[in-house]
């Protein structure tokens, strides 16, 4: 039997002790890092050791709006072009007019998944709402917060947080606002919110509620008139209009969803003779044309 040299045994023990001390020292110097460990977040950090407190940022549903009109082609075929501010338009009835401004609310966005489930934004708000059009008492009402106020000078809008990945096959949204929000106390909202008191030009009385659509039109440019007529539509004209169309796409974990939508104002104003029609007739055309004026963009 071979016997080990005492010096050799000592060196082995010394080597082992040294490396154990080195490992202990390294371990004691290492500081675990906190980070977002939710794979659905846009700032997911696979290298983090511990989940952070409320640091995860989640994907948003975004809209890219194209404001467009249709023009008659040389051979009778219509073409869709980008809307140009203050240009004169012909709605194919020899009625020449100008659109000086347009604003409208969109809300209640839904994506229908291939399994039939519905995905909505995660954002919520608690509104202070009056019990009715006359009462002074308020009640807290929590609703989905996905309101946007669209105008012709803006093209990109953030709707809110979307967290559920998967494949969707249909888009739904509403042009207008839920009628029950007519009695909202707009002063309780932040100034940046589309329904805040900063936008009181879109808010009538508690009885009439918000204006869903607003168009500013020069009715007849053939007379060289520059007078602007403002048409406002709220719940007194019609309820909000729901828009539904097929839309196939993928919601990937950790990535925003952008949906391109084209608004065709020639379609929205189709059939209207601004020079001769009564206001009520014009407003009825606005409502009946609303859903058809929206389509998937590029």
pLDDT in tens, 208-253: 677 888 888 888 777 767 788 888 887 766 668 899 999 888 888 8
> To the nearest whole number, what is the mean pLDDT of the chain?
78
**Angle CA(110)–CA(43)–CA(28) in degrees, nearest 5?**
150
**pLDDT of 127:** 75
pLDDT in tens, 184-194: 766 777 788 88
**pLDDT of 11:** 61
pTM comes to 0.79
Pairing mode of beta strands 96-113, 166-175 = antiparallel
Is residue 281 over pLDDT 80? Answer: yes
**pLDDT of 229:** 87
Closest CA to 49 of 31, 26, 36, 32: 32
pLDDT in tens, 69-127: 876 544 334 445 566 666 677 665 667 788 888 889 999 999 999 999 999 998 888 87
pLDDT in tens, 61-78: 999 998 888 765 443 344
Q: Does 128 or 103 have the greater pLDDT score?
A: 103
**pLDDT of 159:** 92
Average pLDDT for 257-280 = 87
**pLDDT of 1:** 46
Provide the pLDDT confidence category of residue 294 given band limits of 50, 70 and 90.
very high
* 107 Rama class: left (phi>0) / alpha (psi -120 to 50) / beta: beta
Strand segments (E) across the chain:
34-35, 50-51, 60-72, 78-82, 88-90, 96-113, 118-119, 124-130, 138-144, 148-151, 156-161, 166-175, 211-218, 228-234, 241-251, 257-264, 294-296
């Amino acid at each position: 039997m071979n016997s080990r040299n005492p010096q050799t045994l000592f060196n082995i023990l010394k080597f082992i002790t040294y490396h154990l001390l080195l490992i202990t020292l390294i371990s004691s110097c290492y500081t675990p890092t906190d980070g977002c460990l939710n794979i659905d977040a846009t700032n997911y950090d696979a290298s983090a050791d511990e989940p952070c407190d409320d640091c995860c940022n989640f994907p948003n549903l975004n809209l890219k709006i194209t404001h467009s009109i249709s023009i008659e082609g040389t051979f009778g075929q219509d073409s869709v072009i980008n809307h140009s501010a203050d240009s004169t338009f012909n709605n194919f009835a020899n009625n020449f007019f100008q659109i000086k401004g347009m604003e409208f609310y969109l809300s209640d966005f839904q994506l229908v998944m291939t399994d039939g489930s519905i995905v909505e934004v995660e954002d919520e708000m608690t509104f202070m709402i009056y019990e009715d059009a006359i009462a002074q008492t308020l009640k807290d009402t929590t609703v989905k917060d996905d309101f946007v106020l669209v105008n012709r000078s803006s093209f990109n809008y953030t709707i809110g947080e979307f967290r559920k990945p998967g494949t969707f096959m249909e888009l739904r949204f509403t042009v207008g606002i839920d009628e029950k929000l007519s009695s909202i106390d707009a002063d309780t909202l932040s100034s940046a919110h589309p329904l805040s008191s900063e936008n009181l030009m879109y808010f009538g009385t508690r009885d009439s509620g918000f204006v869903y659509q607003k168009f500013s039109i020069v009715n007849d440019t053939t007379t060289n008139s520059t007078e602007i007529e403002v048409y406002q539509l709220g719940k007194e004209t019609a309820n909000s209009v729901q828009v539904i169309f097929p839309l196939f796409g993928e919601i990937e974990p950790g990535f925003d969803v952008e949906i391109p939508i084209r608004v065709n104002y020639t379609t929205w104003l189709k059939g209207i003779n601004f020079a001769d029609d009564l206001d009520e007739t014009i407003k009825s055309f606005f409502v009946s044309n609303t859903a058809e004026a929206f389509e998937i963009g590029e």
